[in-house]
Amino acid sequence: MRMRTVEISVGAFVLAGILALVFLAVQVSGVSLRESEESYTVTARFDDVSGLRVRSKVSMAGVTIGRVRDIAVDTEWGDAIVYLEIFGAPGSLTADTSAQVLTEGILGARYISLAPGADEEMLDEGDEITETQGALVLENLIGEFLTNLGD
């Protein structure tokens, strides 16, 4: 009888561990199991979005307010066009909102940080964020430093 209790306890512990790993994998991947929320899409043009991925978070003041829906290239101008899905109803971002590609920590993933402006006009479905700053690429900084060092 005692051996059976130990086997059941170990089985329950292993099952709890597997469920915890599945829960963490879902949380980290950004997949949402809940019903889709109301959202709207705005675009932003960046000169460089190195490391940014579809489903990367969009945040304001450290709070996630959306996700990157899609990333495309404008072959005419050479810019990256990022489609941002913002949670909630249109009218939550001012027309002069700025966007910047940042990194979570030293080796973290890229995400987009939004900073609201002071304009009274609001962004609506399909509008474009015009004030943007692309990703800071370490290789480019080192190349510029070495080039300037040689002068």
Q: What are the tens digits of pLDDT across the range 68-98?
A: 999 999 889 889 999 999 998 887 888 889 9
Tell me which residue of 26, 15, 52 sits closest to 136, measured CA to CA: 52
Average pLDDT over residues 137-151: 75
Average pLDDT over residues 27-44: 73
SS3 146: helix
Percentage of the residues of the chain whose pLDDT score is greater than 90: 36
Q: Report CA 78 to chain centroid distance, whole Å.
A: 22
Based on C-alpha coordinates, what's the Rg of the chain?
Answer: 22
- Tens of pLDDT, residue by residue over 111-133, are 999 998 888 888 888 899 988 88
What letter does residue 73 receive in the DSSP assignment?
A: E
Tell me which residue of 112, 109, 108, 105 sits closest to 129, measured CA to CA: 112
The answer to whether residues 93 and 84 touch, using CB atoms and an 8 Å cutoff, is no
pTM: 0.70
